[in-house]
A and B are shown apart, each in its own frame.
Chain A
Amino acid sequence: MKKSWLYVSLALVVILATLLAACGPQPTTPTEEGTAPPPEEDEPVTLRVGTTYIWDTANPTFGWYNYTLRYLLYDTLVEEAGISDFVPGLAEEWEVSDDGLVWTFKIREGVTFHDGTPCTAEDVAWSLNWTIENEIETFSFYLYNFQEVVALDDTTLQVTLSEPVGNMEYLLMYVWILPRSVWGEMSYDEIMEFEDMAAGIGTGPYKLVEWVEGEYLIIEANEDYWRGAPAIDRIVWQEFATEDAAVQALIAGEIDAIAADTIPTTAVQTLEAAANIEVAVMESTTIDELIINSHENGTQPESLWDPAVRLAIAYAIDKRQIVNVAYLGFAEPATVIVPSSLGDWHNSDIEDIPFDPEAGARVLEEAGYVDSDNDGIREDADGNPLEYRLYATEGASNARILEIISDGLAQVGISAPPTLMDEDSLIGLYPAFDFDMVYWGWGLDPDPDFAMLIFTCDQREEGGWSDSGYCDEAFEEMYFEQAVTVDHEARRQIIWEMQEKLFEDRPYIVLTYANTIQAYRSDRFTDFGLEAGDILWKASILPAHAVE
């Protein structure tokens, strides 16, 4: 016996491995790549979505991930059909009093929550008031201005504001209507600890069925959805640890679509070459920018305040090259902070400063910055060289971008060696505004308000969102004016002026407007909407259906 233990265990392992390989259930995936499994009778139409992270929690009151999925569960009074394109949701229509303070909404009739309880104007009013009272983290701040919310009858909701707002549709687009039957009896602490799948109950086109953390999540069509049951019966979200794995799974036919922000630009070519896969390139609200420290108590050198220096920096940045290198062409060179995807909020009159190092050098020369000691770096009148700190967070793509910026700056006579640091360390520099220039990127809301808010003086206080330290009286005035301007055209004019002001003062040099890239199996599904910048967005997925 003892003699053969080695052989026995060897044999066992081999047998085990063979068993596992041979006896597994027949693959649900096609063995031949690029062909769809044959459709089975009575099988529900299932869309399998690959993503790198499903979400943090089913609880909508503090969950910050996967709004795409959450919007399939819940409804809002107003919906977004395309970026910044607002259409009626649970509210069929609305009107506003002349002073802009009283808004009256007609609420859709016959709508029910997934648990069967009705959703009348009364229930909508309860949900909004509950959100305000409990200061629900994820969306209460959109209602900061709401003084009173009442239901006049079953289909009429009246909202009274403390002051007019210019972006009511946008504000309401963020506030999910939740059922009193689930949340009504809970204390604040109970709300914050609620983990049950009932947290997914809303009036949306899909019902939350099952979630296994780290693995998958299943939602099923709501047959009683007020627009009618959606064509896709079931959506399964499967989690992959890397973007590449999701791409491989799509090519193998294990999944049918990939969530937004999950396809690396380097994989696009492979996907386009693969059979039966459609790649969708869409506009997004993501911008990349170079932040120039504009805080009067910041640690930046005096010369960085000089408009001539900031203009020269703008001349020195090759945005086209950044688009090609960092985004492989899947972005546009940017001008102002509001991206073109936001429709007419984007100031399209502004002509960008071209990449022209010679012009940049001339600007500096004329402003009195000359290279007196011939080291390639210009000095100001006091002999201080134009040397700046240039930071970004770690990452291969960020390293290339900083190099492009740094090389360009060297050509106009500015020294800015690139420094990459970890995100915590970079954020740690903010309270003291201890930096000169930072490369950064983020996604805007579909309304320009927040993008403007971050340049107001209050946002520089602790807990604020200012990253440039910018503070300007004229800008501030415009901000508060646009906030209360209800008329779209009047507000648009102010927003355009504000963009121009920022473009000239340059707390930001906006570099790129990025695209969203998604892909799906065109042999299984078709007719996804593309306007919202996400093929899985409620407005995009409702028209989609299985290929016959």
Chain B
Amino acid sequence: MKRRNYVLRKVVFAFFTLLAVLVFNFFLFRVLPGDPVRLIIHSPRMTREAQERIRIQFGLDRPVWFDAEALREGDLARAVDTQFTAYVRNLLRGNLGISFASRRDVSDMLVERAWRTVVLVLGGDVIAIVFGMALGLIAAWRRGTRLDTTILLAALFSWALPTFFLGIILLILARGHLPVGGMATPGLKPEDGLTYWLDVGKHLILPTLTMGIVYTSEYILIMRSGVMEVLAEDYILTAKAKGLSTLRVLRDHALKNAMLPMVTMIALTFGYTVGGAIQVETVFSWPGLGRLMYEAVEKRDYPVLQGIFLLLAVSVILANLLADLLYAVLDPRVKGN
């Protein structure tokens, strides 16, 4: 019963967070200075009529929030026919508007870029989770030894390295052996099958390595402290006293309990997948969402930015919700309060 309450509360909370983000996301781009039409129109001698045509095309001829004048006249339908209601209506239909720059559908652009980011980030995430947990576990078990010190120092060092710096260093080191940037050699397409994917694989090595190194260190540090805390518990001593093997103590007693903070970490890692790759995508010219966001900022392409922000927020909220729900399954202590 109590657990059901917990789940319900988390879901409701996530839902309202999402609503707040939707509203905030709309106004964030309306409080910025300047007439958006000026961002779309570049021509100095464009006539007023032509400017108006573009204003209508982008729905900017309507009031932003609500039409006070129409409300006074009692025309409720017109009063709420605003940019905000259009935004909500379109959102519900999955329509994120059209880009100022390319005039393409923002949803299409996001879908195109999202799978590329996922391809990029998955490898790095898997490396980080596997290596990070393994090394963190070893360091905690061999606490105080030279091995532990080495792992700890290496982890602290690589964690302190800015991602873009590490990326640029790797890029220069591998220059001539691995491609400098991009997702595939220009001209190759997914239709080319294996040739394409092997080429993508070659392009993936450097960015994956960069992300892997940076994220691994984070996992090592959290895993190490988590396991160390658990190892100090009485039940570990009991397990050892029972004569269980090292492996069994670690696997059945230590690891399971140390997994709780890791679950949060992993969920968050996936939640931030979309936005977390901006630096890596920028260094390695990877055509994913991070690059799209970077370019949209440079071009002040607000509809695209709005779409990406929404996607970011939704994925973080969902990942958090997932972590909360997993907690309920993994940790019997998580109940009502």
Interface of A with B (CB < 8 Å)?
A: 3, 6, 9-10, 13, 17, 19-21, 23-25, 27-33, 48, 53, 56-57, 59, 62, 64, 135, 137-138, 140-141, 144, 188-189, 192-193, 195, 210, 212-216, 218, 236, 238-242, 244-245, 248-249, 251-254, 424-425, 427-428, 450, 453, 463-465
Contacts and interface: CB of A to CB of B under 8 A. Distances in A.
A245 B175 contact: no
Interface in B49-76: 49-51, 53-54, 57
Closest 5 pairs between A and B when the two form their complex, measured CB to CB: A428-B33, A214-B287, A141-B45, A216-B186, A24-B202
B337 interface: no
B186 A238 contact: yes
Interface of B: 32-34, 38, 41-47, 49-51, 53-54, 57, 101-104, 109, 112-113, 126-127, 130-131, 133-134, 168, 171-172, 175-177, 179-187, 189, 195, 198-199, 201-202, 204-205, 247, 251, 281-287, 291-292, 294-295, 299-300
Contact of A245 (B101, B133, B285): B285
A254 B50 contact: no
A9 B251 CA distance: 16
Given A141-B43, A424-B32, A424-B34, A245 B181 contact: yes
A27 B185 CA distance: 10
Nearest to B280: A241
B51 A463 contact: yes
Given A64-B42, A215-B287, A249 B181 contact: yes
A245 B171 contact: yes
Contacts, number: 160
A6 B187 CA distance: 39
A125 B198 CA distance: 51
Given A6-B134, A238-B186, A254 B300 contact: no
Contacts of A244: 168
8 contacts: A13-B127, A57-B102, A64-B101, A218-B187, A239-B285, A427-B33, A428-B33, A465-B44
Given A241-B285, A252-B175, A195 B185 contact: no
Nearest to A210: B187
B171 A31 contact: no
Contacts of A252: 175-176, 180
Contacts of B34: 424, 427-428
Nearest to B37: A463
A424 B299 CA distance: 11
A144 B47 CA distance: 10
Contacts of A10: 130-131, 134
A241 B286 contact: yes
Given A25-B202, A253-B176, 11 more contacts: A20-B205, A21-B205, A29-B176, A57-B103, A141-B45, A144-B45, A240-B285, A241-B285, A248-B175, A450-B44, A463-B51
Nearest to A253: B176
Contacts of B50: 135, 137
B187 A216 contact: yes
B197 to A, nearest CB: 10
B180 A248 contact: yes
Contacts of A249: 180-181
Given A213-B112, A450-B44, A236 B186 contact: yes
Given A56-B102, A62-B103, A428-B33, A33 B57 contact: no
A486 B179 CA distance: 54
A363 to B, nearest CB: 36
A361 to B, nearest CB: 38
A20 B204 contact: yes
B222 to A, nearest CB: 17
Given A24-B201, A57-B104, A62-B103, A9 B130 contact: yes
A480 to B, nearest CB: 15
A192 B287 contact: no
Contacts of A32: 176
A242 B291 CA distance: 10
A135 B54 CA distance: 11
A396 to B, nearest CB: 15
A46 to B, nearest CB: 9
B198 to A, nearest CB: 5
Contact of A193 (B46, B53, B103, B131): B103
Nearest to A464: B44
